[in-house]
Structure 1
């Protein structure tokens, strides 16, 4: 069966995310806390964090709150996962900043 899109994997992930958000009763900031904790626990790569940064900002989540999530889960998931998560979040933020800069340059 041919796909209707050139990005079927990304389209599927986006649809799953929309479904999850629509069916979840958590407040937006709590949803982001849960998602970042799950990303850290699953040893997610930077691109997975990057997919959630804009949503976290829109939910009003601060960098301090994100750090608090990592502090809270450290005894459960362990030092290595938390340190990897911190590095992956930093990498994702770097990508997000670079994209924003290029968009600003394109507009100007």
Structure 2
């Protein structure tokens, strides 16, 4: 965004300089108009860059909030066995998605 800001300031300075030169009849009106249009385009590009930056910051905030929610959910997940016993087989691999009631381990008491 600093590059867009620098370009906008340079284009504005050139526009003002060419406008002054035009008023003194040193350059054609087309040259002054061209610099004014360049300044307008650079200002629009700067506004677009700022809007993109705001959107990116909002997306970062949304992603961070989603990550916090997932971390809280992960912290609250627990596997509970209805009995005390010894594990004899693993029915699901670590990291696999399971549903309530699905066997994950086989136990013998």
Output the TM-score relative to the length of structure 2.
0.37
- Give the structure with the larger helix fraction: 1
- Higher relative contact order by CA 8 Å / sep ≥ 6: 1 or 2? 1
TM-score normalised over the length of structure 1:
0.38
Larger % of strand: which? 2
Larger C-alpha radius of gyration, 1 or 2? 2
